[in-house]
Structure 1
Amino acid sequence: MHTSRSFLASPLLSSLVIMASCDAQVPASTAGDVVVAASPGQEVRMDTAQISDYIVAALEDSQGNLWFGTVGDGVVRYSADPSVVPGERLRYFTSKDGLADMVASSIVEDKQGHIWIGSHDGATRFDGKTFTAYKAPEGLHGAGCVLLVDRNGTLWAGTNDGAFRFDGTRFQPFDIPTPAIKEPSHKWVAGKVWEIIEDSRGNIWFGRDGYGACKYDGTSFTHFTKEDGLCSNNVASIVEDPQGHLWFGSITSDFPPVQEGGLARYDPSASLRTGGKAFTQFPHMKGLTANDIYNVYRDRSGNLWIGAVRVGAYKYDGKTFTLFDRTDRPDLTKYFGIQAFVEDRHGTLWFGFSGGLFRFNGTVFKNVTRGGPWQP
């Protein structure tokens, strides 16, 4: 199940704001309409405003609706219901509707069909009619919230204060042991949970700030740190490829400042082979070493998409890394990097960037505004 990352209370969010202003992007609130000819003698007004300047989470639910989490604009739903007039399919939900706050950085769906939205101040459940917020009084402490629903239906949450599990009523703390680190450093808050995923074997993985990655098999914990082969101990993203390898996107440290981070691949079976090396780093590729890798995603074809801050986005097909950057795609923003990703049931890839929402047709990234185009 796709899990969106939390960008709350992180240096990336601040840098995105700076990047947007430097690139002279038009804020969604100031964009206007464009009049296009639908047929001779008929004009249709298309809304060209960006859905949001920062789209940091994405999900397709079981009904085919697309959900996008934003920074400042709440959560946005594009309805798949054909009975809804096309011009009314896009709907914004905000704190006035019951969201915990206006930053929606993580979106998942549980087995009951409820939509859960992680935000700066807790999480919110939407049952199709009503929003219910879960904050400190309901046991969910700490800023920034990343969510996962595992194969058993358990809802996990990670914040600046660590990990939590939902018992159906409240969030209960889930204590993760702290590994011994020879040279401690972190990006934001030591122990912050940046990422939670479940692998094909049913293990739960946590990406943590300052403590590397941790695997929980239901009974015991196994820690992986820079000494084992990670690019840094600040793990912001984890994904499993079709071969069962785990990929880790890590980020630089600010406390103290250490220029590290990058992309590393872990082969769980390597230790079973004589002389096998479990971790492989990618130090010779622009943007994949000594850089912030906040996001790594896997599409339905098995391709990996890696967002490299200030460099671009890489697509890895199992053999070749292909870089999409401003040079190759001048229509993309200068500081192009994936912030959110979802592949819908039709195979269309949707990407959230600083600057708005884009749809990828296999060759070109097409900007999708409030007025569309939503269809190929």
Structure 2
Amino acid sequence: MAGITVEAGALMRALSRTLAAVDRRPTVPILATVYLVSSGCQLTIAGANLEMEIRAQLPAVGELPATCVNPRVLRDLLKGLPASECVTLETGESGATLRVQIGEEDWSLRTLPVEDWPAFFAELEGQLAEVRLDAGWIGDVLARVAPFMSTEDTRYYLNGVLLEAEGDKLLAVATNGAQLGRVERTVPEAATAISAAGFVGLKSSCIIPSDMVRAVLAHIRGPVTVALSSAPLVCRVEGDGLTITGKLIDGVYPDYRRILEEPKDIGYEIDRLSLLSALARLKAISSRGGDPIVSICWRKGRLFLERRDAEIGMASIPVPGTTLGTWPNIPLHFDRARLAMAVQQIRGSAFRLQGGNSPYSQAQLIDVSDPASTFILMPMRGETALPHEPPVPPAEPEVRAAE
């Protein structure tokens, strides 16, 4: 028999992270397990489905031959143990069981043949081109555009985040058709790395699927290395003792620049926290199945946020804000939840809400402290009880007769 000793807390955390890739009822029985193997002073745990694999590493003492076991059973038997508790894992002579010893406790778990475990993405070694990203990239870029990913099966190419390189700029974009988030950061050699990965010409971009994006956001903190390949179409994210590898979406992302209009000097500069507070309070004016619309209106030299409900009533809340060069001729109407989600992605204390005078014009939310972060929200049709103050037309230039 061969075995290793690990700490219960580290093993529990590694199992929880790899479970993000393990389906409860997979079509292939071996994919309901995790793959365990030790090398040197480390234990590697891998979980996978048909689209993604997650590998976690943790310190261990001893040797453990490769084995496949049900991760949820192994995780459940560790619950309630002190994090520093020593857990010993051993395989039987036949390899059909995994013995788990915790003090005087003795567990024996059935395993599946390790030969059945697919060699996921084994052919990738040496074929990936890397982009190194700093510690803030996941939380400051990926997390801000992820809420805008689509969930529609018909437009599968929107079910993820577009990564696109332009020189030393790396852009992350996501849209569901009604909203769009775009954040840009300077990443040296970004375009060079993507070209080296095989993405050239008009395809200097790739689409990371939503499941992989969520796994990265949930389980990785700190700096990461993103490795890409166009043949096969694969992405790997490494960081924080975790490696997440998955298939990229094989599709063409729509040209979002066609809808990313040049921001006009029409709109408002709004205090972010005040607007979020008003939006949260306006949720009180909402009956089941009621209208989700909130209205933004300028009158009496102030900005107001309004909501009406036929059964409950109406509310009007002033919000600190100023006008830009001019302001819309009409009130702006938005879905309350979508507006709140977009404003939550602003990091500064204020943002600009810019758009046209048409009720169908897109509204752009631009972070005042970070103009490279742009979020687009399509307005909705609606009515408001607030009298709207029309913008003051610019004064005609004074023409003096020649003396």
TM range (shorter): under 0.3
Which one has the bigger helix percentage?
2
Q: Which has the larger radius of gyration?
A: 2
Higher relative contact order (CA 8 A, sep 6+): 1
TM-score (norm 1): 0.26
TM-score (norm 2): 0.25
